[in-house]
Amino acid sequence: MDIINYLSSAAMPMVILIIISYGILEKNKVFDTFIDGAKEGLEIVLKIFPTLIGLFVAIGALRSSGILDLIINNIEPVLNLLKIPSQIMPLAILRPISGSASIAVATDIMNKFGVDSNIGLIAATIMGSTETTLYTIAVYTSAVGIKKTRFVLYAALAADIAGMIASVAIWRILS
């Protein structure tokens, strides 16, 4: 176990050392290249900042307004019919929108039901098999200036829904 800890601690410094060594061998100005990359990174942050603020405000409003509870209460009969635990629905709704909000919800699920419970296992599988779709699309498309994202959004949300349904189905089979 000590060797794994050592390797994981040494991994990042070694990668940095390899990159710097390669740059020197190729006779690149390593520090100047680093500064140029940092400047470009800051420009990208400034481009996507309004999008991020909008997403964070929308997520905060969604979580604090009680809309999630209203949606879950309205679809609970369908969930019961499909044998989908309603306890995972806040995670299923927030996961495509925000990674940090979905981590908070998943943590709440784990604390409340336990990590080895059926609901905890479904939540963990949803976290691993889905993406923060709206966030990812908003950040990447705003960074490069793409405005028409409708079809990308449909395909990505369909993949998220498939991942969520598969998570429930797999744990229903394995339980």
HEC secondary structure over 33-84: HHHHHHHHHHHHHHHHHHHHHHHHHHHHHHHHHCHHHHHHHHHHHHHHHHCC
- List of the chain residues with pLDDT < 50: none
Separation CA 87–CA 118 (nearest Å): 11
**How far apart, in Å, are the Cα atoms of 45 and each of 38, 52, 55, 120?**
11, 9, 15, 35
> Domains of the chain: which residue ranges?
48-174
Question: What are the tens digits of pLDDT across the range 6-19?
Answer: 888 888 999 999 99
